[in-house]
Structures are given as C-alpha cells and as structure tokens.
Structure 1
C-alpha cells in the first residue's frame, strides 16, 4: 500500500488532526491513486434567489451550480481520486421529484498550502482557502480563475456570483452536515444548499467510480 497521505492531509498539514474523525474518514482519498468513496444523504434545502435565476444559463454552460429548487432532495456524492493527475473528482447526483437525476460534476486540485481550486467545465475554477475549524472542514472563496495553457487567469466573476462558503461539519461517528452559500455584496444570498450525509462503515481503496 502506498505511504502517500490523504489529499486533504497534504492541504491542511498538522491541522488535519483538528478535523472530526468522520470528516477524516470521508476524505481518506490519496492523490495519484484510484481511491473511491460514495456518501449518501438528503439535502434539506436547495435554493436560489430570483436574481440568481438570471445567472443560471451561464452556470449551466460551465457546469456550475444546481438549477432547481427543492426540499428533502435525496443525493449521493461519488468521490474519486485519479492515478494520473493527482486530482479529486466529485459527481453529485441530485434526485429532484419529477425530474431526471441531475449531475453536478467538478474536480479539485491542490495549488498550495491550505489552498485548492475547484474546477468545472472549460477550466473555470474557484480558488478556495481550506481550514479546519471546530472539527469541520471549511472552504472560503478566494476568487475565480480560468486555467488557460497552464496558467490560472483571474476572472471577475465574483462581481456577479458573489462569495462562496462551504463547510462539512461532524454530527456523530457516521454522519456529517454540509452547507454551501453564495452571497453577493449587493443582492444578498444568491444560492444555498444544506444537507446531512452518512459515511459508509468501510471505505474503498482502489475501487473505481460507477
């Protein structure tokens, strides 16, 4: 077995041990591996504002955000490491009533100590500062970028979408809560979703995502 540490242990350094045990089990995935985990849960709310609705066509093009509203939405999230490039890949599958499953895909790459970029389509990404706070894994928006020929070019998209905040907070030994918000300085909260997830008793190393 590889001695490589989990990706987020590399990102957080010694602060990795400040995370709740269930969060550390959730993020056991190592870079340059084929580690895989799926967590299942329910989103108590998935919301966006009237102003945000105007932005959804752009968001759909780049594969960002969730275009529907709902309550108590079943969801599973597939996390996969990639052996070839060191990135972590997310496939969030929302099951809105009366609709086909909606897939929100992205991938994440470490770019420095306590810093990652989460990318959607066409190289558009959000730079995120990562911290461990009271057992929770917290991501704070540090601005948007466009990866072009290997360079991360700053994008002023935050003037439209506002500032992102994401946290995953332990509840007990097998479950955690998740919350995401996008807030605009003028128009207030544009997007939010929150839910509760269960981590499987056993995690899988070297099992590819479905």
Structure 2
C-alpha cells in the first residue's frame, strides 16, 4: 500500500534559488550574531536578524532589488572613487539618484564567508558592478576584501535598531604578507548601515547607507538606497 503523503510536506526548492525568508527550517548562520552582544542582537528587528542570521546553501543566492534614493559626493570624494577603479571600483561612480540596483549574496565555498555583488545602473554605458568578499577572520572577526588584495577589517555594532559595519583598519595582502595602511593613505572612516526602511516604505524594504568621512575633509561620499527581497518586490518599476 502506498503511504499517504503528509499534509505539511513541502515541495523541494528549485536548485539555485533560496527559499522565501519566512520559510521554516532555514539554515541558521550564527557568524554575524557572534560578533555582537546578545542584547544588541536582540534589539534588531526580526527582518534584520533574519537577513544576517540565515545561512545560504551552496549554489543558492539571496537577491535584493531596489534603487538609489540619495547620493552626495564631494569633489575629493569623486576623485577618490575614480582612483579606486584600480582595485575594482568598490565606491559608487554614479552621482544621480533613481538608478536601479541589484545586490546578490552568495556563500563563498573557499573562504568560509560571503560573496557580495552589487550592480548599479548608470546614466550611460555599462552598469557598475562591485564585488567584495566578507570573511569571518582577523582581529575584529570580520574582514571585507575587494580587488588587488585591498581590504579592511570591520567592527559590527547596533545603533537605534540598525546594524552598522565600520572600518577599523585598511590593509593590502601581497604574497602572503599583510601591510596595514596608515590613515593618510585611506579614504577615511567607512560606515555601512543596514536598517529597516520604516512604516511608510513597502513591507520588507530596508535601507542601505554607505558613508565615508575623512578626518580632514569631512564627508566624501554618502549613498543611500532602498532594497527588498527580489521575490516580493513589485515588478513595475522602470530601470
């Protein structure tokens, strides 16, 4: 006799596509949580805790879509952004707002971290694509690597319910050796903020804010974008 299928059985997920964020049974990822005191982690909203507490399976990606809602860049900030083309263009090159953006997060099978790919449309030409790898290593427990061996150690904190990633030190890896850069050779203090978008935004949306503050020249770059899970995002926005 054929055994009856359980009523609560779930179909197998499509290969390469992460299940919706509210699906029970998601793999737990304690790596970001371990970088914070328990009280700070608990103060984050459930949506933020889920995004940074869900382990992606090998071959699967989390995809977020959105657009740039705010952009300020000083003259020196523009020069710095252009200079970083030498190491993979990790800083925004587009001054205008309203441009579409896509963020993809994939598990790094070799480094034990996450591969982050950010794609931003531009007024003309090809979109800007930014690649970086977050690795759970180093003196602060978290590093971000861009091109040509350049990277930074990051500290993770919570402020007003938002998750903040702040640069601690910049470095260059070369042939197995690490050279820490003096402050005058860096663009300044970098802060990335991940926060819920607020009651007026679409459900599930969050804000991504990139800030670079130079100790002598003040704010060089501030970019703010709204993103949400690609599976729940409306499809009628023009790019």
**Which TM-score band (shorter chain)?**
0.7 to 0.9
CA-CA distance at 1:127 after TM superposition: 1.4
**C-alpha distance after superposition, 1:102-140 (max 9, x if no partner):** 101111111258641111002101211101333211111
Equivalent position of 1:191 in the other structure: 221
Number of equivalenced pairs: 202
SS at match of 1:168: strand
The reply to whether residue 53 of structure 1 matches residue 87 of structure 2 is no
The structure with the larger Rg is 2
Matches within 5 A, 1:16-165: 16-30=41-55, 33-63=58-88, 64-111=90-137, 115-156=141-182, 159-165=185-191
Name the Cα RMSD after superposition.
2.6
Task: Decide whether the 8 Å contact of 2:67 with 2:101 is kept in 1.
Answer: yes
Q: Distance in 2 between matches of 1:151 and 1:35?
A: 33
Q: Distance in 2 between matches of 1:183 and 1:43?
A: 20
Q: TM-score, normalised by structure 1?
A: 0.83
Q: Which has the higher helix share?
A: 1
Stretches of structure 1 that go unaligned for 5 or more consecutive residues are 203-210
Task: Decide whether the 8 Å contact of 1:19 with 1:133 is kept in 2.
Answer: no
**C-alpha distance after superposition, 1:11-59 (max 9, x if no partner):** 3362433321111222244388444201111111233211123323430
Greater CA drift, 10-19 or 137-146: 10-19
